[in-house]
């Protein structure tokens, strides 16, 4: 494979209707094919990676997720595997409520340009303030994978509060970590600060896709973003539905790690 030094990334920052998977599927497909039409008409560059938010199929209808979720993730796998292969695009298919043997997980899937599912990651850290542990099965395997030969990592929302997992990805060579999320008001400051800190301290790109809209009493602020290894924002969304596009210079990761050699200067024997 030729050396890949840049990705064009598209983030789909969308509303999610709680407990209405049919409507959410229609909405996601419409957004995706708007993007297809734009690059086929020459309006935008063809993306290398498309990124979706967390639990976009059902929203946080946790009590009904065992009835509403995608059984064994089959619908998601069939659709995005075929889409990725047809258009030769990598897809971070957000995360979904996936029903397996009657149990529900918050599962994220990634498909490469050949339509192959390269990782299936279950959310590792469940948010007890929303009773996730009462309805969901936690994952226990890290989300390390490669796209176009580039080492990457995968987290879901609350996972970003746990720097140990980010560091594990960095020590395994990850250059980009993708974060599907449903991060709500009023914690915008936490969202922006944590994403920035994780990018700086691990000298990597962080690509985060957060939803917008309202579910019951909870509102979501969007502000999906691409953050570079210096902690600078390549692009950031608003609090409305939007398609966010940005370029990632993958060579910058090695450059930053060379200029400030934090990994060589670590002293893990002391902590």
Which DSSP symbol is given to 136? B
Decide if 201 is catalytic.
no
From 54, 132, 152, 209, active-site residue: 54
In 3D space, the residue among 16, 55, 57 whose CA is nearest the CA of residue 219 turns out to be: 16
Decide if 123 is catalytic.
yes
Q: Report residue 171 CA to chain centroid gap.
A: 20
Q: Residues in the chain with pLDDT < 50?
A: none
Decide if 85 is catalytic.
no
What count of Cα atoms within 13 Å lies in the side-chain half-sphere of residue 191?
A: 26
Q: Prior bond to 186 cis, omega within 30?
A: yes
| Distance of alpha carbon 262 from alpha carbon 257, whole angstroms | 7
Quick one: pLDDT at residue 227? 98
Neighbours of 163 (CB within 10 A): 14
Quick one: pLDDT at residue 130? 86
From 117, 132, 157, 209, active-site residue: 157
CB 113 within 8 A of CB 146: no
Q: Find all residues with CB under 8 Å of 78, minimum gap 6, and list them.
A: none
Quick one: pLDDT at residue 3? 74
Quick one: pLDDT at residue 4? 86
What pTM value is reported for the model?
0.97
Quick one: pLDDT at residue 31? 97
What domains does the chain contain, in order, with CATH numbers? 6-270 (3.60.110.10)
Quick one: pLDDT at residue 151? 98
CB 207 within 8 A of CB 236: no
| Distance of alpha carbon 166 from alpha carbon 155, whole angstroms | 9
Quick one: pLDDT at residue 180? 98
């Amino acid at each position: 494979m030729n050396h890949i030094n840049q990705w064009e990334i598209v983030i789909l920052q969308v509303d999610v209707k709680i407990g209405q998977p049919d409507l959410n599927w229609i909405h996601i497909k419409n957004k995706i094919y708007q993007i297809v039409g734009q690059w086929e008409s020459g309006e935008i560059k063809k993306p290398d990676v498309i990124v979706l938010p967390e639990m976009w199929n059902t929203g946080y209808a946790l009590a009904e997720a065992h009835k509403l979720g995608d059984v064994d993730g089959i619908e998601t796998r069939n659709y995005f595997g075929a889409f990725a292969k047809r258009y030769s695009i990598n897809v971070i298919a957000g995360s979904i409520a996936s029903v397996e043997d009657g149990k529900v997980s918050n599962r994220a899937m990634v498909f490469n340009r050949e339509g192959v599912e390269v990782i299936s990651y279950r959310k590792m850290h469940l948010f007890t303030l929303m009773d996730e542990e009462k309805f969901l099965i936690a994952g226990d395997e890290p989300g390390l994978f490669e796209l176009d030969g580039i080492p990457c990592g995968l987290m879901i929302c609350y996972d970003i509060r746990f720097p140990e997992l980010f560091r594990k990805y960095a020590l395994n060579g990850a250059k980009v970590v993708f974060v599907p999320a449903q991060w709500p008001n009023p914690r915008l400051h936490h969202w922006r600060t944590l994403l920035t800190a994780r990018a700086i301290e691990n000298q990597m790109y962080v690509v985060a896709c957060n939803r917008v809209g309202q579910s019951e009493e909870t509102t979501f602020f969007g502000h999906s973003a691409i953050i570079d290894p210096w902690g600078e924002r390549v692009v950031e969304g608003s609090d409305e539905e939007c398609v966010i596009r940005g370029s990632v210079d993958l060579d910058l990761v090695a450059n930053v790690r060379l200029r400030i050699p934090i990994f060589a200067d670590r002293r893990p024997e002391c902590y």
